[in-house]
Amino acid sequence: MKLKVLFFSVLLSMFSIQTSFASDYDEDYASDYDEGEDEDVPDSMIFSWNKSAINYSVSGTVDGYEYVDLGLLSGLKWANIGAKVPVEYGEYLACGEVGPKDRYDEDNSFISSLSIEELKSKSIINEDGNLTALYDAATINWSENWRLPTVAEFEELINNCVLSEITLCGVKGYRFESKKIGNNNWIFFPLAGEFYRNSIDDAGSRGSYWSSTLSGLNAYYLYLGYNSAFTERVIRSVGYTVRPVVKE
C-alpha cells in the first residue's frame, strides 16, 4: 500500500486491517510492514465459544463493534475483543503503529527515539501526551469513534473492577468484572505475552496492552500477570496487543 494515503481514505476502509503509515512515516520502516494472513481461531476453540454458555454480555455496538458497559464514572465503554472473539490474541503492534510486522525492536520503530517535543511537533501525540488519530491503531483499524485507552483510563478500569485469573475456552487470561452494584458485566484480556525481535514470548503467562499515553522515551501499558494488574512504562518498539474503547 502506498504511503501517501489520505486520512479520509483510511477511514473509508476502516473495516480491514490497515498496514500503511501516515504520510510522514519514514520509508525505511515501511518495508517491514506487510498485509499478512489473519490468524484464525482454531476450529476447536470456535466450536466451544458460546456467548450464552459463559454468560457473555454485550451492552451495545458502535460502528458495528460490540462494547461492554462496566458502569465506569467516566462513561467509557470497553470492547471485549482485540480480535474476532474475546479469546483470540489479535495483532501485536508497536507503539504508534497501526499494523503488524515480522520484527519488533528499536531498529525498525519509527518513533522509538523521538522526544516528546518531536512527537508533538510531528502531530504524533497531542498536548496531553496521547497518540493522535492517525497513529492510534483502534481508530485506524476500527473507526474514528474507537481509540486506544489512556493510562488514566486503564487505571480507572483496574480500580473499578474485580480482577480474576481464569481460563476461557482453553485460553488463559484475566477477567475484569464491574464492582458497581447491579452491573454484572465483565471483559476478558488474554495473556498474549509480547513480540520482541523475532519471537513471541510469555504467551499464556502474562499480558501486555498498549495505552495511548507516551512519557519520555517510553509508553505506558497495562501489565497482567501473577494475579496482578498495573500500568507501567516500556520502550515503544516492542509488540504488544491492544484493546479499543469508545464513548457514545
What is the DSSP track for 31-65?
TTB------PPPHHHHHH--TGGGT----EEETTE
pLDDT over 70 at 190, yes or no: yes
Q: What pLDDT was estimated at residue 248?
A: 75
Report how far residue 2's alpha carbon sits from residue 150's, in angstroms, rounded to the nearest whole number.
30
The per-residue pLDDT for range 196-246, each reduced to its tens digit, is: 999 999 999 999 999 999 999 999 999 999 999 999 999 999 999 999 999
The per-residue pLDDT for range 85-133, each reduced to its tens digit, is: 777 888 999 999 999 999 999 999 999 999 999 999 999 999 999 999 9
Q: What global pTM score does this model have?
A: 0.79
Tally Cβ neighbours within 10 Å of residue 217.
Answer: 14
Average confidence (pLDDT) over 150-158 = 98
Report how far residue 181's alpha carbon sits from residue 203's, in angstroms, rounded to the nearest whole number.
33
Q: What pLDDT was estimated at residue 56?
A: 65
Question: In this predicted structure, which of 35-49, 51-65, 96-110 has the lowest mean pLDDT?
Answer: 35-49
Residues contacting residue 131 through CB under 8 Å, at least 6 positions apart: 95, 96, 124, 125, 148, 212, 214
Report how far residue 176's alpha carbon sits from residue 164's, in angstroms, rounded to the nearest whole number.
7
